[in-house]
Structure 1
Amino acid sequence: MHTFWNRRRGRVLAVSFLTAAFAVAIGWAVQSHHKAAYYQRLLALDSQRAFAQLSTAVGELDTALQKVRYASSSTLFSALCAQAFAQATAAQTALGQLPLSYVELEQTASFLAKAGDYAMSLAQRGDSPSDEQRETLAALSDAAAGLDVLLRDLESDLLGGAQTLSSLEEVQERLAQATGDEAAAAGSAFQTVESEFPEVPTLIYDGPFSDHLSQRTPLALEGLPEVGRDEARAIAAQFLGLDPMLFAPVSQGEGALPTWGFEAAVDGGSLYVEVTRQGGQVLEVLSARPVSDAALSPQEGVALAKDFLTSRGFPGLCETYYFIQDNTLTVHFAYQDGDVLAYPDLIKVAVALDNGDVVGFESQGYLMNHTQRSYETDLLSREEVEPQVDPQLTVLAHRLVLIPTGGQDEILCHEFRCENQRGEHVLLYFNAVTGREERILLLLEDESGTLVL
Structure 2
Amino acid sequence: MVKNIIIGILVVGIVGIGYWGYLEHKDKNVISTNAENNYQQAYHNLTYYVDTIHDHLGTTLGTRSTKLAAPELTEVWRLASLARGEIGQLPVTLLPFNNTNDFLSNLGKFSFQAAIKNDNGQLTDEQYQQLSSLYKQSGKVEGDLRQVQKVIMDNHLKWMDVEVALASNKQPNDNQVIDGLKTVNKKVEGFQNEWGPAVTRSNLDELDQLNHLSGPTISKKQAVQAVKNFLNIKKGSFDVQQLGKGAGYSAYTVTITEPKTNNVVVASVSKKGGHIVSIIKHRKINMTKISLNKAVSKASQFLKKHGFDHLEVVKTDQYNHEGVMTFAQTSGKIRLYPSTIRMKVALDNGEVLGFDDSEYLIHKNIALKHYTPSLTAEQAKQGLSKDLSIQETELAVYENELGKNVLCYSFLGTRNQDTYRIFINANTGQQEKVELLTA
TM-score (norm 1): 0.63
C-alpha distance in 2, partners of 1:402/1:379?
14
* Higher RCO (Cα < 8 Å, 6 or more apart): 2
Give a deviation string over 1:149-173, Cα, whole Å, max 9, x none: x99xx9xxxxxxxxxx999557854
Amino acid in the other structure paired with 1:62 = L
Q: Which residue of the partner structure matches residue 248 of structure 1?
A: 238
Q: Which residue of the partner structure matches residue 32 of structure 2?
A: none
Q: Which residue of the partner structure matches residue 85 of structure 1?
A: 73
Q: Shift in Å at residue 229 of structure 1?
A: 0.9
Q: Shift in Å at residue 250 of structure 1?
A: 3.8
Q: Shift in Å at residue 346 of structure 1?
A: 1.2
Are 1:121 and 2:113 counterparts? yes
C-alpha distance in 2, partners of 1:135/1:349?
43
C-alpha distance in 1, partners of 2:412/2:347?
28
Does the Cα contact within 8 Å between 1:58 and 1:87 map onto a contact in 2? no
C-alpha distance in 2, partners of 1:438/1:172?
42
Q: 1:286 to 1:211 in 2, by over 3 A?
A: same
Q: Which residue of the partner structure matches residue 160 of structure 2?
A: none
Q: Shift in Å at residue 335 of structure 1?
A: 0.3
SS at match of 2:382: helix
C-alpha distance in 1, partners of 2:433/2:236?
46
Q: Which residue of the partner structure matches residue 382 of structure 1?
A: 377
CA RMSD between the two structures: 4.5
C-alpha distance in 2, partners of 1:417/1:91?
26
Q: 1:242 to 1:144 in 2, by over 3 A?
A: closer
Give a deviation string over 1:205-257, Cα, whole Å, max 9, x none: 545xx3654333327953432211111111100100112x6351243214333
Q: Shift in Å at residue 317 of structure 1?
A: 0.7
Q: 1:172 to 1:109 in 2, by over 3 A?
A: farther
Does the Cα contact within 8 Å between 1:232 and 1:275 map onto a contact in 2? yes
TM-score (norm 2): 0.65
Are 1:299 and 2:288 counterparts? no
SS at match of 2:401: coil
Does the Cα contact within 8 Å between 1:81 and 1:120 map onto a contact in 2? no
Tell me which of 252, 255, 259 is aligned to 1:260: 252
Written as runs of structure 1 = structure 2, the 5 A alignment for 1:340-419 is 340-374=334-368, 375-419=370-414
Q: Which residue of the partner structure matches residue 61 of structure 2?
A: 62
Does the Cα contact within 8 Å between 1:213 and 1:407 map onto a contact in 2? no
C-alpha distance in 2, partners of 1:423/1:351?
26
Amino acid in the other structure paired with 2:433 = R
Q: Shift in Å at residue 116 of structure 1?
A: 5.6
Written as runs of structure 1 = structure 2, the 5 A alignment for 1:270-309 is 270-309=264-303
Written as runs of structure 1 = structure 2, the 5 A alignment for 1:190-209 is 199-206=191-198
Q: 1:81 to 1:277 in 2, by over 3 A?
A: farther
Q: Shift in Å at residue 396 of structure 1?
A: 1.3
Does the Cα contact within 8 Å between 2:53 and 2:138 map onto a contact in 1? no
For structure 2, list consecutive stretches of 5 or more residues without a partner in the other structure: 1-50, 84-89, 91-97, 158-171
Does the Cα contact within 8 Å between 2:76 and 2:111 map onto a contact in 1? no
More off after superposition, 308-317 vs 249-258: 249-258
Q: Which residue of the partner structure matches residue 238 of structure 1?
A: 229
C-alpha distance in 2, partners of 1:393/1:376?
27
Q: Which residue of the partner structure matches residue 163 of structure 2?
A: none
Q: Shift in Å at residue 122 of structure 1?
A: 2.8
SS at match of 2:61: helix
SS at match of 1:218: helix
C-alpha distance in 1, partners of 2:101/2:328?
33
Amino acid in the other structure paired with 2:70 = A
User: Paired residues, what number?
Assistant: 347
Identity, in percent, stands at 19
C-alpha distance in 2, partners of 1:264/1:91?
36
Q: Shift in Å at residue 441 of structure 1?
A: 1.7
Q: Shift in Å at residue 203 of structure 1?
A: 2.1
Amino acid in the other structure paired with 1:257 = Y
Q: Shift in Å at residue 260 of structure 1?
A: 1.0
Are 1:215 and 2:213 counterparts? no
More off after superposition, 354-363 vs 337-346: 354-363
Q: Which residue of the partner structure matches residue 17 of structure 1?
A: none
Does the Cα contact within 8 Å between 1:261 and 1:272 map onto a contact in 2? yes
Q: Which residue of the partner structure matches residue 323 of structure 1?
A: 317
Does the Cα contact within 8 Å between 1:252 and 1:261 map onto a contact in 2? yes
